């Protein structure tokens, strides 16, 4: 601490010396020789020296302040270079039904792209927050080795190959600086039908984190506008003709089958 203390008087002295040998000293000499035409007394000199010491102290403080600001900017730039800076974008949102093992589920498919403007980083812990009028739920993405087929009423079916899951693309392989990765997120929505989702038009928020655990969000407001999917770089989106209505199981029909089976079993027990 004592060594650091002597640094200030040294800097103050050199600042004072600079002021004394500069324009102010020349102004004092001009005042003394040209205007007054006689030497100043000791007291004015002491006041001038004290004023110069104050000015030198201010200049020393200003130099240190500028140095600290410059170092802070350099530190911020280095931190930015060494920290991820992910930017998410929702390119497509489609709702429909997804069938698996004779069961049908209301589903949401999203095409998401992530750009990285900072240090290389993975993107992990993907979630979807869906805000329904009567309920807010957080959904975990579905993951499978089989293609996911989304049936849409009166429209072509959307088929996504398993290689396009954005989870597989970003959770283990870092996104490079200046890189961009696009992929699919699929969610099964429990307790709601596709018709209920399209009628409620919920707000959808995708959440994920970078390698440092910093959270990111992407929001999308579901609307009634029908946007037919186009070409999306990095995603092998396939469109197929919709299945015949008789081949697509519905939630109501499946529930009806379960109810009829229960009634049949009940009647069999009562007869016995």
- At residue 178, does pLDDT exceed 70? yes
pLDDT of residue 270: 37
Residue 51 above 90 pLDDT?
A: no
Phi first, then psi, for residue 99 (nearest 5°) are: -105, 135
pLDDT of residue 223: 85
Cα–Cα distance, 159 to 238 (Å, whole number): 5
- What Rg, from alpha-carbon coordinates, does the chain have? 36
Query: What distance in Å separates the CA atoms of residue 171 and residue 116, rounded to the nearest whole number?
Result: 14
Strand partners, 106: 97, 189
pLDDT of res. 69: 87
What is the length of the chain?
A: 272
* pLDDT classification of 75: cutoffs 50, 70, 90: confident
Ranges 149-153, 184-188, 241-245: which has the least confidence: 241-245
Q: Name the pLDDT band for 166 (thresholds 50, 70, 90).
A: very high
User: What architecture is the 86-226+234-254 domain classified under in CATH?
Assistant: Sandwich (2.60)
Q: pTM of this prediction? A: 0.63
Percent with pLDDT over 90 in the chain: 33
Q: Domain extents for the chain?
A: 2-81, 86-226+234-254
Q: Region 240-253: what's the mean pLDDT?
A: 54
Token match 């240090």: residue?
A: 119
| The pLDDT of residue 128 is above 90 | yes
Residue 181 clears pLDDT 60, i.e. is over it: yes
Instruction: Find residue 121's DSSP bridge partners.
Output: 175
- The answer, yes or no, to whether residue 255 has pLDDT greater than 60, is no
Average pLDDT, the chain: 78
Cβ–Cβ under 8 Å, residues 179 and 233:
no
**pLDDT band, residue 77 (cuts 50/70/90):** confident
DSSP bridge pairs for 220 = 204
pLDDT tens-place string over residues 183-239: 999 999 988 898 999 899 999 999 999 999 999 999 999 887 756 677 788 888 887
Give residue 272's pLDDT.
Answer: 36
Q: Which two tokens mark 100?
A: 């698996």
């Amino acid at each position: 601490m004592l060594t650091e203390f002597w640094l200030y008087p040294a800097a103050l002295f050199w600042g004072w010396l600079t002021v004394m040998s500069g324009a102010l000293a020349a102004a004092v000499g001009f005042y003394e020789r040209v205007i007054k035409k006689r030497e100043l007394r000791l007291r004015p000199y002491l006041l001038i020296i004290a004023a110069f010491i104050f000015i030198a102290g201010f200049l020393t403080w200003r130099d240190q302040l500028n140095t600290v600001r410059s170092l802070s900017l350099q530190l911020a730039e280095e931190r930015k270079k060494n920290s991820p800076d992910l930017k998410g974008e929702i390119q497509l949102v489609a709702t429909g039904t997804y069938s698996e093992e004779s069961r049908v589920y209301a589903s949401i498919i999203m095409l998401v792209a992530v750009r990285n403007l900072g240090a290389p980083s993975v993107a992990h812990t993907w979630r979807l927050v869906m805000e329904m009028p009567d309920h807010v739920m957080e959904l975990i993405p579905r993951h499978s080795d089989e293609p996911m087929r989304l049936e849409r009423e009166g429209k072509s079916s959307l088929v996504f190959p398993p290689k396009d899951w954005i989870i597989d693309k970003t959770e283990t392989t870092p996104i490079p600086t200046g890189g961009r990765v696009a992929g699919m997120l699929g969610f099964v929505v429990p307790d709601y039908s596709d018709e209920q989702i399209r009628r409620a038009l919920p707000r959808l928020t995708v959440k994920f984190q970078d390698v440092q655990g910093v959270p990111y969000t992407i929001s999308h407001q579901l609307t009634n506008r029908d946007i037919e999917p186009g070409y999306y770089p990095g995603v092998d989106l396939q469109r197929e003709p919709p299945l015949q209505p008789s081949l697509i199981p519905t939630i109501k029909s499946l529930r009806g089958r379960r109810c009829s089976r229960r009634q049949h079993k009940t009647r069999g027990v009562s007869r016995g």
